[in-house]
Amino acid sequence: MKLTLKIWRQKNKNAHGEMKTYQVDHISDDMSFLEMIDVLNEELVEKNDDPVAFDHDCREGICGMCSMVINGQPHGPGKGITTCQLHMREFNDGDTIYIEPFRADAFPIIKDLVVDRSAFDRIQQAGGFISVNTSGNTIDANAIPVPKENADTAFDSATCIGCGACVAACKNSSAILFVSAKVSQFALLPQGELERKERALKMVEQMDKEGFGSCTNIGDCAAECPKEISLENIARLNREYISATIKSK
């Protein structure tokens, strides 16, 4: 398979970026998308050119670091997959593929296809945890009964890997799907009850501080989410936030 790649190149966050064109040949249908970029980078290194910088780690769809917009879609074509799970059989010989970083003011570009998603970390640090007193004997978490429906829904929410595809897909660069998933996974469990109201307020406040946009309920975030996080989480976050706001007054 021979392909034309249009890739965003940018030396650092302050530099001017641009799309550059590359040709790759002998690409197997069985290669993953990241393996295809590895082939390109090997050719660039042989020519003493700067390889394309991109984030990756597990290459198993677990970490969410492989954040790229491929032909206008976060993580590329295919539903419920990350970029590293995308295979070249989804493309045809002679195709032109456009590859860009996730675009959002809150995700500044570090280099080429690598963006700084530490804004998500700060939102998590603001309230995405459960405080536990570990002095003495702690109660076994399994000793607290949890209705199966709540447990299942909390688990589904917890599958969010924080890749940022929801932000890249949203026309407003909203992080509401990510925040709602992190709030929901604790709001549905008895262990998260004590900090429930404070958690919703703090995480939404931090989200706004980071410069993410507002949600207008288009639904592109859920459509592009590799873990298929449900829009129901956004409705739950709205209820949690309104309730916490009323009780804090």
Asked if the 117-248 domain carries CATH number 1.10.1060.10, the reply is yes
Q: Which residue has the higher pLDDT, 199 or 249?
A: 199
pLDDT band at 143 (very low <50, low <70, confident <90, very high): confident
Tokens of 4: 């034309």
Please state the domain extents for the chain. Answer: 3-111, 117-248
Question: For residue 82, which phi and psi values (nearest 5 degrees)?
Answer: -95, 175
Cα–Cα distances (Å) from 19 to 22, 44, 77, 110, 216, in that order, read 10, 16, 20, 16, 30
Model-level pTM? 0.92
Long-range contacts of 4-9 (CB under 8 A, 24+ apart): 4/94, 4/95, 4/96, 4/97, 5/40, 5/96, 5/97, 5/99, 6/96, 6/97, 6/98, 6/99, 7/52, 7/99, 7/100, 7/112, 7/113, 8/99, 8/100, 8/101, 8/112, 8/113, 9/52, 9/112
144, HSE (Cβ side, Cα atoms, 13 Å): 13
pLDDT band at 145 (very low <50, low <70, confident <90, very high): confident
CA angle 79, 23, 97 (to 5 degrees): 25
Q: According to the model, what pLDDT value does residue 132 have?
A: 74
Q: According to the model, what pLDDT value does residue 182 have?
A: 96
Question: For residue 241, which phi and psi values (nearest 5 degrees)?
Answer: -70, -45
Residue 111, strand partner residues:
114
Q: Indicate if the pLDDT at residue 236 is higher than 80.
A: yes
Strand 3-9 and strand 96-100: pairing? parallel
**Across the chain, what does the average pLDDT equal?**
94
Q: Indicate if the pLDDT at residue 134 is higher than 70.
A: no
Taken as a whole, the chain contains a residue count of 249
Topology of the domain covering 3-111: Ubiquitin-like (UB roll) (3.10.20)
Give me the mean pLDDT over the 85-106 stretch: 97
